[in-house]
């Protein structure tokens, strides 16, 4: 079992842009660290890029509602950030586990829970 806080790093890559369709754009990385002992799911987190650290909420896992589950991804919604991160290396520090990853019956159902996660993250990070 991995103890928190725990950091993962990677280069921000293009995803499916599903988060953008619901006003929740995420920075997607394939972690360079071994995350096999992490619980897959949503974490309160921070993201560090270019020497600046931002509050975030991060999903670590296989995104079973959106993808076929063949690879592990870390995707972070960064609060109060505007800019282009594609191609940049970021460090995501997982602070506290919020909920386990699961497959939702629809993207609409996932979207509802993602917005709940977003609000809980705002409260956590106040």
In-domain check, residue 70: yes
Q: What is the pLDDT of residues 54-101, one digit of tens each?
A: 999 999 999 888 877 778 999 999 999 989 999 999 999 999 999 999
Residue 107 binned pLDDT confidence (cut-offs 50, 70, 90): confident
Distance (Å, whole) CA 113 – CA 84: 26
CATH number at residue 28: 2.40.30.30
- Quote the pTM value: 0.92
Distance (Å, whole) CA 124 – CA 126: 6
In-domain check, residue 1: no
Q: Output the pLDDT for position 52.
A: 96
| Total domains in the fold of the chain | 1
Full residue range of the structural domain in which residue 102 is found: 6-124
What mean pLDDT do residues 8-25 have? 79
C-alpha angle 53-55-58 in degrees, rounded to nearest 5: 110
């Amino acid at each position: 079992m991995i103890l928190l806080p725990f950091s993962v790093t990677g280069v921000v890559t293009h995803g499916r842009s599903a988060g953008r369709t619901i006003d929740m754009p995420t920075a997607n990385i394939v972690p360079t660290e071994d995350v096999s002992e992490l619980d897959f799911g949503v974490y309160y987190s921070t993201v560090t890029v270019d020497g600046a650290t931002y509050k975030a909420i991060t999903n670590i896992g296989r995104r079973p509602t959106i993808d076929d589950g063949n690879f592990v991804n870390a995707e972070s919604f960064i609060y109060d950030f505007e800019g282009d991160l594609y191609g940049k290396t970021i460090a995501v520090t997982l602070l506290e586990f919020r909920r386990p990853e699961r497959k939702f019956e629809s993207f609409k159902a996932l979207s509802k829970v993602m917005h709940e996660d977003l609000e809980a993250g705002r409260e956590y990070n106040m």
